[in-house]
Chains A and B, each alone.
Chain A
Amino acid sequence: MADNGTVLEVKDLKTYYRVMKGDVKAVDNLNFTVRRGEILGVVGESGCGKSTLAYSLISLKKPLQHISGEANLLGQDLMQLSGREKRKLKLKNISIIPQYALDAFSPTKKIKTFIKDLVKQHGRRADKKFMDKVRERFKIVNLSPSVLDRYSMELSGGMKQRVVMLISSLLDPDLLIADEITSALDVTSQRFVTTLLADLRDEGIIGSAIFITHDLATLYQIADRILVMYAGRLAELGAADEIVHNPRHPYTRDLINSLPRIGIQHKDERLTGIKGTPPDLTDIGEGCRFRFRCQHRTVECDSTPKMEEPRQRHYIRCWNYKSLGSDQNE
């Protein structure tokens, strides 16, 4: 299945939080691939396991544990690598922009010092040639290289996020995971940062990306494919246009119908949202996890739906999606 163009292949991946109360099944049987040049968007509500997915790939730390399944990055199973082996891949092959990273700068270090320390950790010399490259990258993110001599507190949120993105992509990773990079920013900065991620891909600086967010509308702007997660599982995965304009899974449908957009006022059309809240993932049993909130629940839903592929590279986990129909013929 893995061809040369595949950067990441996740197969039946299960990572749970082992805690006193039991297993929190935050990533449960996830399957997807990321190809070179592709931006995969991951969307879902808080607690659906989208950030856990990122941590599973980049650093599994207790209480998060690998249960079964594989995550092959360029042919190497990340789940089987030791900490040291994984370290070698980081920044170069796989890199992450963690959530809230823009607030994690050391207040006593200049940006320059921070970058130098970081690359040293990864066995690179921060020589003149390297710093020239860094300056070049500042231009790409539309910041003056003089930012290198500033402290983080002198920068605005949008500027800090750009510096974070620049640092994470400094060693040209094959896969960059961007976890909620827009959530703390203003709308104008959101647009800039989101577009920047696509620009980095277009210029070949990053090989591919996983863009994790709760904001489907922002995701749609740059994602090639979108993975909709619900309560630790895949609900639907497909091309961005398909997911947004021709959703098949009841959850995806409800999610899109609850998006407010300019042109719809409450007087003209009532957006409903989804009744209820996501289930507790601790020791959650069999069955479709959306069935408690689903309008199309049937008897089958008490057993776990299999992943089906109604169209090429379009996956769905739902017993009843066929009867719900589609806007287009298959």
Chain B
Amino acid sequence: MNEKNEAILEAERLTKIFSSGIINKDYTVAVNNASFALYPGRVTSLVGESGSGKTTIGRLILKLIDPTSGTIFYRGEDITNIQGRNSKKDYYRQVQGVFQDPFSSFNPLFKINRVFEMLFREFKPEANNKKELICQSLEEVNLNPGRILDKYPHQLSGGQLQRLLIARALLLDVEILVADEIISMLDASTRMGVLNLLVDICRDKGLAILFITHDLNLGYYLSDDTLILHEGNLVERGATTRVYENPYHPYTQMLFESVPDIEEKWDRSREFIPEQITEVVEEFYQNNQEEGYKEVEKNHYVLMSLPDNSSPGVTEYFQV
């Protein structure tokens, strides 16, 4: 399963520009020309700091927002502009998301079994062995159906709720799971359980997982491929071990320097100022002769310079 099969989802030059204001419009380029692919049976982690656009990419994949430009292919088919309830529903049968705050992902007034009932009504009205399917998926995420189903969300822990959300996705037999910061609200001792579960279902079921995180340690543990996002640009991407062992882009290097490690303490004699990175990155782009992405080693790509028109999406946007 570990071999790279054909990509199940491909994003090509995705750009998302948000505008705000009515008269004097302000434009924010949240994602700029991002291209990547997700493969069955592989975890791809998308690493970035707050405001880097990582959640926006997740929402684009989940079709919660439409891209300003660029294309998304699902199994080779362009699904960028699918509209309408039915075609979206078809898409959601295959692609599901799990989000950061498990407590706000559930209706506090509904018992857990009602959540599953609704799922069946919406997506699988034909199923007649509902109970069996529910129990099976709950057992897959290591939850005891008898002790979970007649509870309200507030009676369960964050880890249990997060598992429930995964169980819900499993029930649909999805092919792609977008996991957006799913463990950042869990404690150190409970989060490993959820993470191992994620890896196991990815391997066993051939699921493609986009794991969005800001935690580099977790990203390394979990993922086969890594995408590093900085201010909307995918600055570095490739096999996780390559990117982590041999970071090339100055932003990636800085990220790795900030990771706390229990084997080695930070060098406090060296000056470390996060703000300087903007200048350093600009300098890096200016000094490079290459354009676009460069394959620095096998399966390891680095953004060497921004395109001449640093945000082509904006101009396109204005012409519309």
A residues engaging B (CB < 8 A)? 45-46, 142, 157-158, 186-192, 194-195, 198-199, 214-218, 220-221, 244-245, 254-256, 258-266, 270-275, 277
Contacts and interface: CB of A to CB of B under 8 A. Distances in A.
A260 B217 contact: yes
A273 B192 contact: yes
A274 B260 contact: no
A270 B195 CA distance: 10
A244 to B, nearest CB: 5
B188 A218 contact: no
Contacts of B273: 142, 192
Contact of A188 (B215, B217, B258): B258
B70 to A, nearest CB: 26
A45 B187 contact: yes
A187 B214 CA distance: 7
Given A188-B277, A191-B258, A220-B262, A198 B187 contact: no
Contacts of A218: 260
Given A259-B188, A270-B196, A216 B217 contact: no
Given A142-B273, A158-B274, A271-B221, A258 B189 contact: yes
Given A158-B274, A188-B258, 18 more contacts: A45-B189, A186-B274, A187-B214, A188-B49, A191-B260, A191-B266, A195-B272, A217-B262, A218-B260, A261-B263, A262-B216, A262-B261, A264-B221, A266-B195, A266-B196, A273-B191, A274-B190, A277-B159
A191 B259 CA distance: 8
B272 A272 contact: no
Contacts of A273: 188-193, 196
B218 A260 contact: yes
Chain B residues touching A, range: 35 or more
B108 to A, nearest CB: 20
A81 B278 CA distance: 50
B192 A272 contact: yes
9 contacts: A186-B49, A191-B257, A216-B188, A217-B217, A259-B262, A271-B196, A271-B221, A273-B188, A273-B191
Contacts, number: 124
Given A189-B274, A195-B266, A265 B220 contact: yes
Given A158-B274, A258-B189, A187 B216 contact: yes
User: What are the 3 closest A-B residue pairs judged by CB atoms, nearest first?
Assistant: A273-B192, A274-B189, A217-B260
B192 to A, nearest CB: 3
Contact of A46 (B50, B187, B259): B187
Contacts of B191: 258, 273
B259 A262 contact: yes
B48 to A, nearest CB: 9
A261 B261 contact: yes
A217 to B, nearest CB: 4
Contacts of B240: 265
Contact of B220 (A46, A215, A262): A262
Contacts of A192: 272-274
Nearest to B217: A260
Contacts of B215: 187, 260
Contact of B192 (A194, A215, A258): A258
B255 interface: yes
B254 interface: yes
Most buried by A among B190, B241, B274: B274
A275 B192 CA distance: 10
A188 B50 contact: no
A264 B220 contact: yes
A254 B268 contact: no
B254 A186 contact: no
Contacts of B37: none
Nearest to B200: A266
Nearest to B47: A187
Given A259-B217, A273-B191, A277-B157, A217 B261 contact: yes
A266 B199 contact: yes
B98 to A, nearest CB: 18
A216 B262 contact: yes
Contacts of B275: 142
B210 interface: no
A46 to B, nearest CB: 6
Interface in B60-118: none
B232 to A, nearest CB: 15
Interface string B192-207: 1101100100000000
Nearest to B185: A46
B260 A214 contact: no
B34 to A, nearest CB: 20
Contacts of B263: 261
Contact of A45 (B49, B188, B196, B259): B188
B255 A266 contact: no
Nearest to B192: A273
Nearest to B220: A262
A188 B255 contact: yes
A322 B244 CA distance: 39
A187 B255 CA distance: 7
Interface string B139-153: 000000000000000
A256 B261 CA distance: 12
B222 interface: yes
Interface string B14-43: 000000000000000000000000000000
Contacts of A188: 49, 254-255, 258, 274, 277
Given A192-B274, A255-B188, A198 B268 contact: yes
Nearest to A266: B199
Interface in B198-245: 199, 214-218, 220-222, 240-241, 244
B192 A187 contact: no
Nearest to A142: B273
A214 B199 contact: no
